[in-house]
Structure 1
Amino acid sequence: MFLSQITRKSFLLICFFFLLWYIINSFYYEQEELLLSDKNEGTLTEIHPTSPPTSSSNTSLTTIIDNNNNKNPLEELNKKFCGRPTCKFLFAYSIMEQETKANMHFRSFSQLAEQLNRIMILTNVGFSKIDTCNKFPFDFYYNTDLLQKEFPNIIFKSENDFIFWLKERDQIKMTLNNNNNKNIIPPLSILHTSIQSHKNDTNYYNAEINFDKNKCISKFEPLMNLEDPNNSRVNYTKMFVKSADLRRGRVKFSKLLTEVLTIDEEILLVNGRVLYPLFPEIMPVIPYNDYILNEAQRLKDKLSSSYIGIHWRLESSIPELLPECVQGLIKTLNKVIKEEGIENIYLATDYPLLSSRSQSSSFKEVTKYHHDAIRTLNETFKINTWVSLGGLKQLRKNKQYNIEMNGSGIQGILDKLVCINSNYFISGPKGCARVSSFTKSIADKRNDRIKNNDHSLLNVINRWQL
């Protein structure tokens, strides 16, 4: 029993000393952590901005500026976003043509961006336009990976990427300028210019403030405000281009264009209203998004082994002539069916297919002559369209694409691709149909394929007779 009591006393003593040791050490480490905390108070960790390819206009900003180093934070942002200390953009924010010509003009402006060593903004698309007023990103229509391969020396950024850069720059500006009570980061430097076809001689000159201001530019406010001198220093110019200079003198004109637009401004805002390419080399058509290509292939497969493609743009036709026009088309179709043995027919048209409105924003008046002509055609043959074949079904189910589906947007590209792939292609004569660049682009592509020995195509284009 005595030994047992000793053992218990020893155990209690050991516990007492261990508890005392623990209290002393805890106090010491707590004081040490407080000291370290005091030393580190006010030290900021720099988190570098990134530019995610799908950054949106409401991107949350997490950049924390470290003012204790000697680096210029704006230069650091530009290096990460643009690969160089100064970002210089070319933003062709409005191209006043429908998709076929807009596609060509965007390639011209990309060539200009390459000559000027500027980042090219991928302008939004929609309703058969390349225009910042539209809400869909550039890759809704186009394959940006293949575009990059066509222009390997250009950095391309989306509109959302551009907004991200504006936000980051604005945050740096507010932080540094407010802390130092002086303008370390200056306002945005911008040249706003318009390039327009004109009947007179080519001329480049200073323009009045806020000329031709596109209302959709306001969507970049307050980050880019052309009317606030504290936000943006803006110069305005215009270039009138004689059409003959673009038809026959593009080498000389492109040198002039590059020379006058070699400027120091960060942002070159351009709206374009020209008829012809700006550079002598005409780049290949911007490739379309894989989703549209796959849809075109699916419709082709639905049409079986062979089909006749028709492009009938009723806009600008003479309504009273349409009864005669449709009979001429029927006669031509019967002839092709008999001689070539092709029975399937695909119709690409601006006639209303999903609503009472035409598929083209510029085709306003659909008359009884138009309705009667299409009715007669449908009563004579089984006519297939992108709607009857279930084209773009997933987009049509989504309400955000309603306006696009009822206009001349993505389905116009689909029609173009299906007609390019048709075994036989026909279009209307003057008076019955509008002779358009859309039809020409189909014929040009078919001509290239026939030259490359594509024996599935039986003709380039035929126009039916009245």
Structure 2
Amino acid sequence: MAKLKLDFSQNKLFENQKTRKTSFLICFFLLLWYIISFFYYEQEELLPAKNEENNTESLIAIPITLPPANTTVNTINDTDNNKNPLQELNKKYCGRSICKFLFVYTHGEQETKANLHFRSFSQLAEKLNRIMILANVGLSRIGSCENFPFDFYYNTNLLQKEFPNIIFKSEEEFIFWLKERDQIKKIMNSKDNEVIPPLSILHSDIKRFGRTPLKTIYKDARPNFNKNRCLLKFEPLMKLTDSNNSQVRYTKMDIGRNDLNTVKSRTEFSKLLVNVLTTDEEILLVNSYIGRPLFPEIMPVIPYNDYILNEAQKIKDKLSSSYIGIHWRLERSEPKLLPKCVQGLIETLNIIMKKEGIKNIYLATDYPLLSSRSQSSTFRQITQYHHDAIRTLNETFKINTWVSLGGLEQIRKDGKHDKEFIGPGIQGILDKLVCMNSNYFISGPKGCSRFVSSFTKAIAEERSNMINLENNHDLLNIIDRWEL
């Protein structure tokens, strides 16, 4: 009986071992089949079809319209380890795997010179193969401190035609790129430290004023965050004071006093400029004040937005398409001379109106028209002499201005642009366009006005082009100065 029990136990143990061995073999073969099948199909997916083996994806560097800055950022899918998420973002945004920007966030001077500055830096963007950021505009300036997008003043489609090889992006689109890059960085760096590095930035002050050196000097500089208040809107996405967010190198360039005076000197200077600013940093931030073109070729004026051109045409039509344009910039005038100045202007107007048969007068001025503040940010000391001179002129003739003729009325009524019209602003562009198309154009002599004015010069140059190149017979002169 004991032996029977023992034999029964041994048989049971043998059967259990046989069952486990069979199960193990079944599992092993099933696992082996799964691995072979997975590898086979995965290889089929990864290998290109025969007719696609030699295909390569070409990247086209053209502007890409993106959602505004307040658009919800897409969730980044990082499950595909074969793709670099940052490179994919850059391809989507810039048309290439690395984005490099030129962001001139301050253009010194008011609109006429700022317009020239922007064109020069667009030429630099092309030489450096960088995307040019369209800084905001407002109060007759171009800069990140202003409140309105670039196309509030300018026609970006025509700008693109003038610079076909440059990708332009608005400040909002730049913020969009910063947001997505920041999201990618947070996701990737949470798994492995420094997979996506901080923003790499070169910040440079490029200036030509004050104690200008004989020759251009370019050197390292100390950080000065007080000057960078226009960049605060980009925090925390781009924070210059946080090395974990932005690794910044600071430089400054003091342009030599004669280095921008001639075509030859600008040719040599532009080579130096391109050389020192050819760098690997993603973002080139520039705080500029130059006053002259940077390159030998001076590009045409940035075209203004169509609605401003339409406003200028409306004013011209209201003046019966026949009028004398006056630019009287009272800043830098000698107040005690103003009684003689206004009499000289009145005599000149009488002569022109009698000789040419013109009855209408349009006045572009920095004298206050909507408030007690002047139409120029640099004209602050308005005296009784100024008030008396304008009153005398207005009592002698019917003087038309952009205000009296209802210029930009729709924008003035919306309440969003009130600050734009009290002081320098978009109305300066309108004045410029109206004076360019006047039948006769005059401006003030020394002592009566700011004689050296880039605004007056721009009007005269455009009138010269219209007469000489376009053979415009409606324009009777380029510019005259009235006498005391």
Question: Is residue 2:200 matched to residue 1:189?
Answer: yes
Which residue does the alignment assign to 1:275? Answer: 291
Deviation track 1:232-260 (CA, whole Å, cap 9, x = no partner) reads 11000011111201113011110010001
SS of 2:252's equivalent in the other structure is: strand
Deviation track 1:71-130 (CA, whole Å, cap 9, x = no partner) reads 000000000100000000000000111100000010000000000000000000000100
Q: Aligned residues, how many?
A: 415
The one of 229, 232, 236 equivalent to 1:218 is: 232
Q: CA deviation at 1:408?
A: 1.3
Which residue does the alignment assign to 1:445? Answer: 462
Task: Tell me, in whole angstroms, the C-alpha distance in 2 between the residues paired with 1:136 and 1:246.
Answer: 31
SS of 1:244's equivalent in the other structure is: coil
Which residue does the alignment assign to 1:148? Answer: 160
Deviation track 1:294-326 (CA, whole Å, cap 9, x = no partner) reads 000000000003000000001111111100000
Which residue does the alignment assign to 2:24? Answer: none
Which residue does the alignment assign to 1:137? Answer: 149
Question: Is residue 2:297 matched to residue 1:305?
Answer: no
Q: CA deviation at 1:214?
A: 1.9
Q: CA deviation at 1:53?
A: 4.1
The residue type equivalent to 2:481 in the other structure is: R
- The 5-angstrom pairing of residues 36-75 of structure 1 reads 53=65, 55-75=67-87
The one of 349, 355, 378 equivalent to 1:362 is: 378
Task: Tell me, in whole angstroms, the C-alpha distance in 2 between the residues paired with 1:219 and 1:57.
Answer: 12
The residue type equivalent to 1:401 in the other structure is: H
Which residue does the alignment assign to 2:403? Answer: 387
- The 5-angstrom pairing of residues 337-348 of structure 1 reads 337-348=353-364
Per mean C-alpha deviation after superposition, the further-off stretch among 119-128 and 52-61 is 52-61
If the length of structure 2 is used for normalisation, what is the TM-score? 0.84
The one of 365, 371, 386 equivalent to 2:387 is: 371
Task: Tell me, in whole angstroms, the C-alpha distance in 2 between the residues paired with 1:420 and 1:383.
Answer: 18
The 8 Å contact of residues 76 and 184 in structure 2, kept in 1 or not, is answered as no
Which residue does the alignment assign to 1:3? Answer: none
Which residue does the alignment assign to 1:91? Answer: 103
The 8 Å contact of residues 210 and 236 in structure 1, kept in 2 or not, is answered as no
SS of 1:120's equivalent in the other structure is: strand
SS of 1:191's equivalent in the other structure is: strand
Task: Tell me, in whole angstroms, the C-alpha distance in 1 between the residues paired with 2:377 and 2:325.
Answer: 23
Structure 1, unmatched stretches of 5+, are 1-50
Deviation track 1:411-446 (CA, whole Å, cap 9, x = no partner) reads 000000000000000000011011210000000000
Structure 2, unmatched stretches of 5+, are 1-62
Q: CA deviation at 1:261?
A: 0.5
Q: CA deviation at 1:181?
A: 3.4
Q: CA deviation at 1:57?
A: 3.4
The 8 Å contact of residues 135 and 150 in structure 2, kept in 1 or not, is answered as yes
Task: Tell me, in whole angstroms, the C-alpha distance in 2 between the residues paired with 1:371 and 1:398.
Answer: 30
Larger-gyration structure (1/2): 2
Deviation track 1:323-360 (CA, whole Å, cap 9, x = no partner) reads 00000000000000000000100000011101111111
Q: 1:311 to 1:54 in 2, by over 3 A?
A: farther
Which residue does the alignment assign to 2:128? Answer: 116
Which residue does the alignment assign to 2:348? Answer: 332
Task: Tell me, in whole angstroms, the C-alpha distance in 1 between the residues paired with 2:69 and 2:220.
Answer: 32
SS of 1:294's equivalent in the other structure is: helix
Q: CA deviation at 1:212?
A: 6.2
Which residue does the alignment assign to 1:106? Answer: 118
Task: Tell me, in whole angstroms, the C-alpha distance in 2 between the residues paired with 1:387 and 1:53.
Answer: 36
Which residue does the alignment assign to 2:37? Answer: none
Which residue does the alignment assign to 2:60? Answer: none
The residue type equivalent to 1:288 in the other structure is: Y
Deviation track 1:384-432 (CA, whole Å, cap 9, x = no partner) reads 0000000000111122201101121100000000000000000000110
Which residue does the alignment assign to 1:79? Answer: 91
Task: Tell me, in whole angstroms, the C-alpha distance in 2 between the residues paired with 1:444 and 1:245.
Answer: 23
Per mean C-alpha deviation after superposition, the further-off stretch among 320-329 and 209-218 is 209-218
Q: CA deviation at 1:61?
A: 1.1
Task: Tell me, in whole angstroms, the C-alpha distance in 1 between the residues paired with 2:188 and 2:226.
Answer: 34
Task: Tell me, in whole angstroms, the C-alpha distance in 2 between the residues paired with 1:135 and 1:275.
Answer: 23
The one of 217, 220, 225 equivalent to 1:206 is: 220
The one of 244, 268, 272 equivalent to 1:230 is: 244
SS of 2:261's equivalent in the other structure is: helix
The 8 Å contact of residues 52 and 161 in structure 1, kept in 2 or not, is answered as no
SS of 1:195's equivalent in the other structure is: strand
The residue type equivalent to 1:459 in the other structure is: N
SS of 1:237's equivalent in the other structure is: strand
Per mean C-alpha deviation after superposition, the further-off stretch among 263-272 and 65-74 is 65-74
Q: CA deviation at 1:215?
A: 0.7
Q: CA deviation at 1:265?
A: 0.2
- The 5-angstrom pairing of residues 317-328 of structure 1 reads 317-328=333-344
The residue type equivalent to 1:217 in the other structure is: L
SS of 2:260's equivalent in the other structure is: helix
Task: Tell me, in whole angstroms, the C-alpha distance in 1 between the residues paired with 2:374 and 2:399.
Answer: 18
Deviation track 1:201-237 (CA, whole Å, cap 9, x = no partner) reads 2111111123663211111000000010000110000
The one of 92, 101, 125 equivalent to 2:137 is: 125
Task: Tell me, in whole angstroms, the C-alpha distance in 1 between the residues paired with 2:68 and 2:423.
Answer: 26
SS of 1:411's equivalent in the other structure is: helix
The 8 Å contact of residues 53 and 158 in structure 1, kept in 2 or not, is answered as no
Task: Tell me, in whole angstroms, the C-alpha distance in 2 between the residues paired with 1:330 and 1:63.
Answer: 68
Q: CA deviation at 1:52?
A: 7.4
- The 5-angstrom pairing of residues 219-258 of structure 1 reads 219-248=233-262, 249-258=265-274
Which residue does the alignment assign to 2:444? Answer: 428
